[in-house]
Amino acid sequence: MPYLIPLGGSTPLGAAAYATVVTELAAQLGGQPVTHLVVAAGSLGSMAGLILGTWVADLDCQVQGYTVLWPQPEAMTRLQELLEAARRQYFPAVPSRSNYQILGAQLGAGYGAPTPAGREAARLAARQDGLLLDHTYTAKAMGDSGRQVRLIDLGSAIPDSGHLGHARGDPYR
């Protein structure tokens, strides 16, 4: 039987599968606490999965998403619906928590449209660390979170055993 996968793959099944990322990340960090996760929030599956993963692993971790597709109120409503559907279907014994937020500071002119802060974050990441951030997703998330958590020098902010997750996007578009 065929399984319909919507644009972005954001289904309860996709979010449940993405929840395993949190456990893998925590293991790769070798016991260092995971206290904050920052993600670009497009169709919301990755963000929902990260949130679910913190619930399943019972981590004291805040998940912050920067909407790149919808205005903040609509993104929050869609995220809550996806979270509840995935939790109910795949993790019914796991209680939900309010350890997440969606911010609209980097939506700018909308999907695919770079923001000034995102452009600057992409320049800094490329210049200082050789990281190529796409302007649709990761640069937008880094553009605002960089100001909040002072990730200007990524090399000193991410430990040698740490990882920077980048789910999608083409920096050369």
CATH 3.40.50.1100 fits 8-108, yes or no: yes
> Can you give the residue ranges of every domain in the chain?
8-108
What stretches of the chain show up as alpha helix (H) in DSSP? Answer: 12-18, 20-28, 45-56, 72-90, 116-129, 138-149, 154-157
Q: Is 27's pLDDT higher than 90?
A: no
Q: pLDDT, tens digit, for every residue of 126-151?
A: 888 788 888 888 888 888 765 544 33
Q: Higher model confidence: residue 73 or residue 31?
A: 73
Q: pLDDT, tens digit, for every residue of 38-81?
A: 889 999 999 999 999 999 999 999 999 999 999 999 999 999 99
The pTM of this model reads: 0.83
**Mean pLDDT value of segment 106-110:** 90
